[in-house]
Structure 1
């Protein structure tokens, strides 16, 4: 397996999986979304250019541009001619809505499906979900 690792603005390790099923440009877009969600890049703040991303991750600038274009196509970022790309005023809200509607629903569907395969009742599954935050606190997450 091949990974690209760096530290983001918040000091967290960012890992891109170069051998994974998800294209690098999609991983770049998702990482930028996470940076916006975490507050490391705010509304109307300039985001990394395709060349900065290419340098940071040691990837082709065209690959980085594809990641940026995903966000532009979704109106999460906007272009200022000659200045670069900036986070839309409602970019964070758009990402939250997208991730709730796509990511969480998919995860919940998979969780329920796996629960059925394992014979876990609805009540057991709900209890597992409700106690999960307590387990995170106990494990120090």
Structure 2
């Protein structure tokens, strides 16, 4: 795990979320065990368990007793909605605030985005 200042258990949870979002972990498939995560990342199993338990509490994973953790139905959709909302709060809201300060409207922003897309 890289040291990005966030707790390791949050990084573990985000790694699993990313795998669900990108489709490498499908709904109703078995998620990596806390021991597998701990061994792979060379961290304490309790830390890995904290990340997994966070996803269980959020309804992203569920436990099949004696078998392991599985990706819940609807997990990808739920995660995409959460990430889109976070994206809007982090990027769209400040963008709109600054655009208003500059006297720009939605059409001005659309033109600017289109111009950047074509230049990239």
The equivalences for 1:53-64 within 5 A come to 53-64=37-48
Structure 1 residues not aligned, in runs of 5+: 5-15
Change (3 A) 1:127 1:46: same
Residue number in structure 1 paired with 2:84: 100
Tell which has more relative contact order, 1 or 2 (C-alpha 8 A, sep 6+).
Answer: 2
CA RMSD of aligned residues (A): 2.2
Aligned counterparts of 1:99 and 1:19: Cα–Cα separation in 2: 19
Q: Under a length normalisation based on structure 1, what TM-score does the superposition of the two structures give?
A: 0.71
Q: Deviations over 1:31-60 (max 9, x none)?
A: 111101111011110011111111111221
2:53, 2:90 → 1: CA distance? Answer: 24
Which structure shows the bigger proportion of residues in strand conformation?
A: 1
The structure with the greater share of residues assigned to helix is 2
Q: What TM-score, normalized to structure 2?
A: 0.82
State the number of aligned residues: 119
Q: Distance in 1 between matches of 2:85 and 2:66?
A: 34
Distance 1:34 1:78 in 2: 17
Distance 1:75 1:25, change over 3 A: same
Structure 2 counterpart of 1:109: 93
Whichever of the two has the greater Rg, that structure is 2
Q: Distance in 1 between matches of 2:97 and 2:44?
A: 39
Query: CA 1:62/1:38 → structure 2, altered by over 3 Å: closer, same or farther?
Result: same
